[in-house]
Amino acid sequence: MSLDIDLTKINYSFLHKPLLIGGKAMEYYELRKAGNDIDFVISTEDYEGLKKKYPDPECHRDLFGDLGVMVEEFEIWKCICLFDYELLSENAIEKEEYLIISLEKLLFLKAIAMKEEKYHKDLRLIVQRILDNQYDDAKWKEKYLKK
């Protein structure tokens, strides 16, 4: 699936591939359409580099300790709820220019934010997809649906 993400707009050479999270990740897994912004989590080194590249305080965010840089339609975070790139990128799907958060890590992010209805809806969509994948598994069917 093509997500039409143009990282050249950021005008920065990442040391580590940025990790796609949020709505675009939901769209990648064909769970729902993404909104207008594109969310990434990046390494500490890349965050420091972007902060220098975009020194204008208007580009910087501090959301309860989660530090980010906003460029064009991109929201680029050092961490989410203080969970960093290293943890969130485990088992990510590798694309040419970026990584896509694993479905399980996406579930985790939505679960910790589920007090908001939008994220609770996303959580239900991800759980349903995981269950659909599990019960569509050929080995499971062979083992449990044999007569």
62 in any annotated domain:
yes
Residues above pLDDT 90, as percent of the chain: 76
95 in any annotated domain:
yes
1 in any annotated domain:
no
pTM for this prediction: 0.88
Q: Which domain range does residue 124 map to?
A: 7-144
Angle between helices 117-135 and 103-112 (to 10 degrees): 150
**pLDDT given at position 89:** 98
The tally of domains found in the chain comes to 1
2 in any annotated domain:
no
Residue 147 binned pLDDT confidence (cut-offs 50, 70, 90)? very low
The pLDDT of 51-57, averaged and rounded, is 95
70 in any annotated domain:
yes
31 in any annotated domain:
yes
Q: What CATH number does the domain containing 92 carry?
A: 3.30.460
Residues above pLDDT 70, as percent of the chain: 92
40 in any annotated domain:
yes
